Structure 1
Amino acid sequence: MKFLLFLLLLLPGFTQAQQKPTAKKSAAFDARQRPRNLTDEQLLDQVQRQTLRYFWDFGHPVSGMARERSNVAYNYGNEVVTTGGTGFGIMAIIVGAERKWIPREEAAARIYKIVQFLEKSDSYHGVFPHWLNGATGKTIRFSQKDDGADLVETSFLFEGLICARQYFTGSSKTEQDLRNHILWLWEGVEWNWHTQGDQNVLYWHWSPNNGWSMNHQIHGWNECLITYVLAASSPKFAIDKKVYDQGWATGSYFKNGNEFYQTKLPLGFDFGGPLFFSHYTFLGLDPRGLKDQYADYWQQNQAHTRINYAYCVDNPKKFKGYGPNSWGLTASDSYQGYAAHSPTEDLGVISPTAALSAMPYAPKESMTALRHFYNDLGDNIWSEYGFVDGFSEQHNWYAKSHLAIDQGPIVGMIENHRTGLLWKLFMSSPDVQRGLTKLGFESPQIKK
């Protein structure tokens, strides 16, 4: 597995999570008192709104950014905020504003606070690190040599910021300032710097201390398609199409074409890999009718989801609790620490974000899982920030933790299923449309 999230598993200390709360949990919260007998729409409201609290109530008090996780683990502290998770959180806040769970002016002010913090924070050729200190804006090292620019996390951040710029189009000073400052940040990202001097591939990391030492090329298929799309969309530092064709589309695990559980998988690992591949990029990038010379991305994401679902129903390892109402394998916490769960790395752990963020691709199956998680398992996995990060009935283990990169897609992808809100916003950006056209994409949302 060649992706950074998988490399977490190789880092010292990433095998056992310490469950120390970063902030006092609400003594009044009792999962047993959750509302019952909800309609589908009421339940979707309940889950989105509760999960949004992770970003709204638990956002860092100084920066407003999303905390990496709700518990102190892996020997880092309360001040760690995540750039990619903040991008997902911004999209969740937009959903909250649109549904009037948050006053629009307060949502704009929170995102503007984040943007102003980012302007003063460490960045490298306009690219932000994976983690920042939420109080000071200084880089927090992710690993020994990963102490500088992280292009993929930056792309997740700007996926959210572009949505915000397209959403907050009002005439108030806050909304005008927000749009302007997002534009300045966006124009300043030197995407083409990450080709290491005109190589036809993007590199994930650059460090002022270690240069290109990590030397990690971004090849597909995985969660990083959005990185190439935004790199092609940049107003000032764009990549050429050949970087996409000769870099992204040439990975060892790019093309597949085999069948798994009677479903043909166009791209990626056998059995699809963890489900976040079909979530992170597609919080903003609308896969409906999205095609290029390599794939139809709606078909790709549906196939990936169906295979993941079919595997859990088949349950070849006979884990307790797996079935049509309890499915979904993706990267999350587990009883062994963080793990990139998939059909080929199955530890008996279900990650709620997997099925819930797949709502656009398998609405019936996702809704069945949601009802089971909430109604039947809620005493153990429902919390003040929505569902916990993972659980295993086989091992009688239920996480106490939440991760920004898992909570955000729940809010955003459910909303895309319900209204297509974030898809419409992101795809309405003229820069994004230009970038997609440059790379050879077709989409009903690209204006001719």
Structure 2
Amino acid sequence: MKNLLLILSLFAVSCVQAEKPKKPTYTLTDEQLLDTVQYYTFQYFWKGAEPNSGMAPERIHIDGIYPDNDAHIITTGGTGMGLIGILGAIERGWISRQEAVARFEKMISFLEKADRWNGIWPHWLDGKTGRVKPFSPKDDGADLVESAFLMQGLLVVREYFKTGTEAEKSIAERIDKLWKEMDFAFHTQNQNVLYWHWSPRYQWEMNFALEGYNECLIAYVLGAASPTHSIPAEAYHQGWARSGGIQATNSGAFGFPLQLKHNGAEQYGGPLFWAHYSYLSLNPKGLKDQYADYWQENVNQTLINRAWCIQNPKKFKGYGENLWGLTASYSINFYDAHRPGNDTGVISPTAAVSSIVYTPEESLKVIRNLYENYGEKVFGPYGFYDAMSPEHNFFPQRYLAIDQGPMVSMIENYRSGLGWKLFMQIPEVQAGLQKLGFSYQPGN
């Protein structure tokens, strides 16, 4: 805490159009560096929140240019990804429990009244009205995956507050009600697989089945864990695991094998958010089932991603041990799911930063390089900007919630294990994992 106060005395953050933090005149220790990155990234979900809902805006553009003037559009999944970061801010003394309670009361009041279908929220909501903002023409209703990302964070909040003051217990109880209203079974269409989208106008026309492996594992874990609308184990094994077809043979690269077929990216693995989104609360360390050891899978996917950037087959400027990390983010073509094999020369800071749980030393080198050598070109009032490229002189001053959330929550998980500990102790989660055939031995 003393180190943080020293750092914060040199930095100033106000609201959305905050002054950029100034670089201190001395070298930060690793702990001070993580304090700094975590604190400013947390501000995306605190001072950067949409005022009426208290939830995370889909994006914040420091350059002030918004597509369709959408600064008031909030993201359900992106909000959920940052909730562990808010709890971490309580633990680190950056905000009080009372301030956090007030914020969560605002969020939950908004979510209780916002558009839902069978208890499932859409991807985007209008923060002013609570009405759906279509993500695409037919994606104008229930989004199971984004709602799962939201609920995994809310359940951690429920655990954190469930034995607290009356106000805190009330938050936990209201989250519990929202959780029990989520109808995962409806999203199976009476088949042994989960479907991503349902629309009040188009029903199941998008017809997107959740088949692995990608970022969607948490939807199956929560579906099996639901105390009211649970899915059968067969949905996981026949749907997600493709009746065993999810397992890979001779997959991987650079000496790091992959146990699972990464959809459309089997040799090198998918974009690194596949190792992040479902694991912000679900602890992969010691988590295994008949298909994979999830810790080893995520570590190896990260190491493959890093090794690709070090090999740098396209000879992009800046790439190396101190600058690696390919995942979905803003790009030179607006937005791209960067990965080995689909590499445009754009580094997404969230890739290496959020991977700190898997590759602490390697990720810290990237964090320090970005902070010390690129400075204000890549670091602003809400932490690292979404993307950068020395090759293309591309340094957009823009943020996306779905990239900020994994950074702040994974840094906290790396430092204290807070989100992982709370989520993995939830009785329904433990029962759901057992139902699907998972074993979990923390510390292994």
TM-score (structure 2 length as normaliser): 0.92
Instruction: Report the Cα distance in structure 1 between the residues aligned to 2:164 and 2:415, rounded to whole angstroms.
Output: 28
Letter in 2 for 1:285: L
- 2:203 aligned with 1:211: yes
Deviation, 1:68, is 0.2
Question: In the alignment, which residue of structure 1 is the partner of 2:220?
Answer: 228
Question: In the alignment, which residue of structure 2 is the partner of 1:82?
Answer: 75
* Between 138-147 and 69-78, the greater mean CA deviation after superposition: 69-78
Match of 1:165 among 138, 143, 158: 158
SS in 1 for 2:298: helix
SS in 2 for 1:332: strand
Task: Say whether the 8 Å CA contact 1:69–1:404 is kept in structure 2.
Answer: yes
Within-5 A mapping of 1:272-421: 272-421=269-418
Instruction: Report the Cα distance in structure 2 between the residues aligned to 1:294 and 1:35, rounded to whole angstroms.
Output: 50
Within-5 A mapping of 1:89-238: 89-196=82-189, 198-238=190-230
Coordinate RMSD, CA, aligned: 1.6
Change (3 A) 1:206 1:161: same
Instruction: Report the Cα distance in structure 1 between the residues aligned to 2:322 and 2:20, rounded to whole angstroms.
Output: 24
Unaligned runs of 5+ in 1: 1-22
Letter in 2 for 1:37: T
Instruction: Report the Cα distance in structure 1 between the residues aligned to 2:154 and 2:120, rounded to whole angstroms.
Output: 14
Letter in 1 for 2:322: N
> Could you list the per-position Cα deviations for residues 161-204 of structure 1 after superposition, in whole angstroms to 9, with x for gaps in the alignment?
000001113432220110110000000000000011x1000000
Question: In the alignment, which residue of structure 2 is the partner of 1:239?
Answer: 231
Unaligned runs of 5+ in 2: 1-14
> Could you list the per-position Cα deviations for residues 274-298 of structure 1 after superposition, in whole angstroms to 9, with x for gaps in the alignment?
0000000000000111000000000
Letter in 2 for 1:341: H
Instruction: Report the Cα distance in structure 2 between the residues aligned to 1:218 and 1:119, rounded to whole angstroms.
Output: 26
- 2:45 aligned with 1:51: no
Instruction: Report the Cα distance in structure 1 between the residues aligned to 2:325 and 2:438, rounded to whole angstroms.
Output: 29
SS in 1 for 2:339: coil
* Between 229-238 and 92-101, the greater mean CA deviation after superposition: 92-101
Identity %: 50
Instruction: Report the Cα distance in structure 2 between the residues aligned to 1:423 and 1:77, rounded to whole angstroms.
Output: 33
Deviation, 1:444, is 1.8
Change (3 A) 1:30 1:206: closer
Deviation, 1:344, is 1.5
- 2:413 aligned with 1:423: no
Instruction: Report the Cα distance in structure 2 between the residues aligned to 1:379 and 1:91, rounded to whole angstroms.
Output: 26
Change (3 A) 1:354 1:80: same
- 2:242 aligned with 1:264: no
SS in 2 for 1:212: coil
- 2:436 aligned with 1:439: yes
Deviation, 1:221, is 0.5
Instruction: Report the Cα distance in structure 1 between the residues aligned to 2:67 and 2:245, rounded to whole angstroms.
Output: 30
Match of 1:249 among 241, 245, 257: 241
- 2:50 aligned with 1:60: yes
Deviation, 1:426, is 0.6
Instruction: Report the Cα distance in structure 2 between the residues aligned to 1:217 and 1:434, rounded to whole angstroms.
Output: 24
> Could you list the per-position Cα deviations for residues 344-393 of structure 1 after superposition, in whole angstroms to 9, with x for gaps in the alignment?
11000000000000001111100111110100011310100000000010
Number of residue pairs matched?
421
Question: In the alignment, which residue of structure 1 is the partner of 2:28?
Answer: 38
Question: In the alignment, which residue of structure 1 is the partner of 2:7?
Answer: none
Instruction: Report the Cα distance in structure 1 between the residues aligned to 2:66 and 2:244, rounded to whole angstroms.
Output: 33
Question: In the alignment, which residue of structure 2 is the partner of 1:5?
Answer: none
Deviation, 1:417, is 1.2
> Could you list the per-position Cα deviations for residues 385-424 of structure 1 after superposition, in whole angstroms to 9, with x for gaps in the alignment?
0000000100001011101010011111111111111100
* Between 233-242 and 30-39, the greater mean CA deviation after superposition: 30-39
SS in 2 for 1:359: helix
Deviation, 1:77, is 1.3
Instruction: Report the Cα distance in structure 2 between the residues aligned to 1:76 and 1:158, rounded to whole angstroms.
Output: 28
